[in-house]
Amino acid sequence: MISVDALWWAGLAIALALASAALSLLTASVPRLLRVLVMPLFALSALSALIAGLLALINGGVAVAELPFGLPWLHWQVRLDALAGFFLCVIGVVSFAVGLYAPGYVRGFEQGRDPLPVLGGFGGLFLTGMLLVVLAADAFLFMVAWELMSLSSYFLVAFHHDHAANRRAAFLYLLMAHIGGLAILLGFGVMASVGGSFAFDAMREAQLPFGWASVAFALAFIGFGMKAGLVPLHAWLPEAHPVAPSHISALMSGVMLKVAVYGFIRVVFDLLGQFHWQWGVAVLIIGSISALMGVLYALMQHDLKRLLAYHSVENIGIIFIGLGLAMLFYASGHTVIGTVAFVAALYHTINHALFKGLLFLGAGAILHSANERDLDKMGGLLRRMPWTGLFFLIGCISISALPPFNGFISEWLTFQSALQAWQLESGVLRSLVPIAAAMLALTGALAAACFVKVYGVAFLGQARSRHVRRARPVPLSMRAGQGVLALLCLLLGVLPTVFIGLINAVPQQVLGHGLVQATAQGWLWLTPVSPQTASYGAPLVAIALFVAVGLGLWLVGRGVRRVRRCDAWDCGFAPPSAAMQYTATAFAQPIRRVFGLLFHIDERVEPQQNGHLRHSLQVSDRAWGLFYTPVVRAVEKTARQVIRLQSGNVRVYLGWTLGTLLVLLWIMA
């Protein structure tokens, strides 16, 4: 059994988060309290959540408690098990880094017009909501916490509300969050109708027939998929994440999306407790499409935060590829391979939380120092912000799934499970899984190309604007927050067996099968299936790479002293300038030509009055025209019909009232 201490630490985390929210009210009159009191409490809350999660993973078992709130016949029930502990670790580690980072970042808001109590208060409530979602053991508390998480994050997205685009993005986010919440609530209703209670224990023991189980699965997939940002339910994500303050963007992308992943795993893998190949196929297909479309749309962006938001769609797709493979293999009776895929999804969950949080904090550092989000106006930042440049490079390598950093491990594990498709009995499934693996491989290559573009354009070369030329290193607190996440990206890439041994409690508890063979060869070798099938010596690879890089830098350093620096031969033309550098838009041009049918491209060349030509390019998401615009038009058409009821005639209103009463009496009679 989990020690009561773990649940105590989780309760302390919630209390500290609520305290930070309450004390934020004082920042209206004393703005500096946001830095010196509210954010330290936020960081302590995150640290407490991390301790609770680690204790749950180490000790195993389950701890439960009942809170004197909720409905008269159903008090709020909380449960801390290995699955909840893992996601408490995800929430805690990123939120702790954000708590370190935020004091330096929010200092610039103290002299602005934006209300600081909103930023600190709803930030604390946002963290409280995420913690309660993970700890909830009944549908009522789960939905209350889910709505608290959604509503508080809405106010954070709308923090810079002076801009109409920000208000529009916040409204779109709130609308889709409530649609997704309604789907989740209906899914719980289906399970509660059979289980006879809203308590998760009753749902867990209920035996749903295939039809109703499929309905509950579909509702959960839609509801949690919408919050996670799966294609085509992702439209809110690239709108909301860029406009929020950068440390909030790190929380939303790095943590909130993982809470949606938690909800999906809790409902499908735990509460429903049954696997059907049809479900696995649906999850695998949607995950593959999300991964590929997310990275393609990211390549088209030149707004740094919008680009990172689309990469969240890509990485959520990779997580769901792993979950889909796990469902397929478990439905076919191959428990070992299914566990490998499940652990790969969990590992990529923590990996994405780390490197995406790191990248959003890096984007915030650039915005704080250079006041710029447009890649085409950046350049030369490595010379001006060396620490941010180093940490951002680690994030770029990690998200590109290159060794020795953490992104490589989870994607390698996903490939190892996909390569066992030959064990499936169905020929259709044996063909589908390699296609999904090929899409994952293409996604990885495109992600690497995208971050070559990002890092090369933003940090190398020359500054393209005055703001960027004046950039300076960010405060120590902001560098510390980035440094914590960068270090963890390295540790999870170099010591995967240690962390997989810790995560192993989750599949052992949820699925009844652990991944003991992965760590059977010790800390040096990772063997997910068996030593004869595949193995990866992460520490050896890291040592070899670091030696090679160190030797290369030493040789370059010796050679630089013998090289005379001067401008390149320019064939007699004007001397080179920053405007002659490769831009982010130009970098993506070949990809845009190859995959042009997937985008809505508006490219124009217009003559100006001074005789010059003006080139404009706008690449938009086809999902708007295919899925959202028709719905908007249908709603507007329906609204125009309904508005006829508002005639302004009292007699008409009385007639409608009488008719409604007659219908109700007829129904109730």
Residue 666's pLDDT is 84
Residue 395's pLDDT is 94
Task: Find the mean pLDDT for residues 142-165.
Answer: 89
Q: Using one digit for the tens of pLDDT, what is the confidence trace for 580-616? A: 676 767 777 777 777 777 777 777 777 777 767 777 7
Residue 2's pLDDT is 58
Contact 446, 296 (CB under 8 A): yes
Give the H or E element holding residue 67.
strand 63-71
Where is average pLDDT lowest: 65-69, 191-195, 225-229, 484-488? 65-69
- Cα 463 to Cα 350: distance, rounded to the nearest angstrom: 34
Q: Pull the structure tokens for residue 642.
A: 């309904």
Residue 559's pLDDT is 61
Strands 63-71, 74-80: pairing kind: antiparallel
Where is average pLDDT lowest: 41-50, 215-224, 284-293, 365-374? 365-374
Confidence of residue 326 (pLDDT cuts 50, 70, 90): very high
Confidence of residue 255 (pLDDT cuts 50, 70, 90): very high
Confidence of residue 648 (pLDDT cuts 50, 70, 90): low
Report the share of the chain in percent with pLDDT over 70: 93
Confidence of residue 578 (pLDDT cuts 50, 70, 90): low
Contact 440, 297 (CB under 8 A): no
Q: What is each CA distance from 181 to 262, 279, 575, in whole angstroms?
A: 14, 21, 58
Query: Helix/strand/coil (H, E, C) string of 592-622?
Result: HHHCHHHEEEEEEEEECCCCCEEEEEEEEEH
Report the share of the chain in percent with pLDDT over 90: 48
Task: Find the mean pLDDT for residues 616-641.
Answer: 74
Q: Using one digit for the tens of pLDDT, what is the confidence trace for 18-40? A: 999 999 888 888 888 888 899 99
pLDDT at 562 over 70: no
The average confidence (pLDDT) of the chain is 87
Q: Chain-centre distance of CA 134, in angstroms?
A: 16
Q: Using one digit for the tens of pLDDT, what is the confidence trace for 547-560? A: 888 888 787 777 65
Q: Pull the structure tokens for residue 174.
A: 């709130």
Task: Find the mean pLDDT for residues 111-120.
Answer: 81
Residue 631's pLDDT is 72
- Cα 390 to Cα 392: distance, rounded to the nearest angstrom: 5
- Cα 283 to Cα 276: distance, rounded to the nearest angstrom: 11
- Cα 533 to Cα 322: distance, rounded to the nearest angstrom: 19
Q: Using one digit for the tens of pLDDT, what is the confidence trace for 54-66? A: 999 998 788 888 8
- Cα 524 to Cα 540: distance, rounded to the nearest angstrom: 8
Confidence of residue 521 (pLDDT cuts 50, 70, 90): confident
Which amino acid makes up residue 515? Answer: L
pLDDT at 1 over 60: no
Q: What is each CA distance from 68 to 19, 71, 188, in whole angstroms?
A: 20, 9, 22
pLDDT at 537 over 90: no
Residue 3's pLDDT is 60
Residue 493's pLDDT is 92
Coil, helix or strand at residue 68 = strand
Kindly give, in sequence order, each residue whose CB lies less than 8 Å from that of residue 403, ignoring residues fewer than 6 positions away. 493, 538, 541, 542, 545
Confidence of residue 476 (pLDDT cuts 50, 70, 90): very high
- Cα 519 to Cα 503: distance, rounded to the nearest angstrom: 12
Residue 463's pLDDT is 83
Coil, helix or strand at residue 544 = helix
Tokens 């004393």 correspond to: 30
Residue 612's pLDDT is 73
Alpha carbons within 13 A on the beta-carbon side of 241: 34
Q: Which residue has the higher pLDDT, 512 or 282?
A: 282
Task: Find the mean pLDDT for residues 329-348.
Answer: 92
pLDDT at 287 over 80: yes
- Cα 134 to Cα 388: distance, rounded to the nearest angstrom: 32
Strands 74-80, 599-607: pairing kind: unpaired
> What are the percentages of helix, strand and coil residues in the chain, rounded to 5?
75, 5, 20
Q: Using one digit for the tens of pLDDT, what is the confidence trace for 412-464? A: 999 999 998 888 888 888 889 999 999 999 999 999 999 999 999 899 888 88
Residue 515's pLDDT is 82
Task: Find the mean pLDDT for residues 472-492.
Answer: 93
Contact 223, 190 (CB under 8 A): no
Coil, helix or strand at residue 69 = strand
pLDDT at 406 over 60: yes
CB atoms inside a 10 Å sphere around CB 41:
22
Residue 647's pLDDT is 63
Residue 585's pLDDT is 73
Q: Using one digit for the tens of pLDDT, what is the confidence trace for 198-228? A: 889 888 888 888 999 999 999 999 999 999 9
Confidence of residue 570 (pLDDT cuts 50, 70, 90): low
Where is average pLDDT lowest: 87-101, 365-379, 600-614? 600-614
Q: Which residue has the higher pLDDT, 2 or 99?
A: 99
Dihedral (CA of 51, 53, 57, 59) sign: positive
pLDDT at 15 over 80: yes
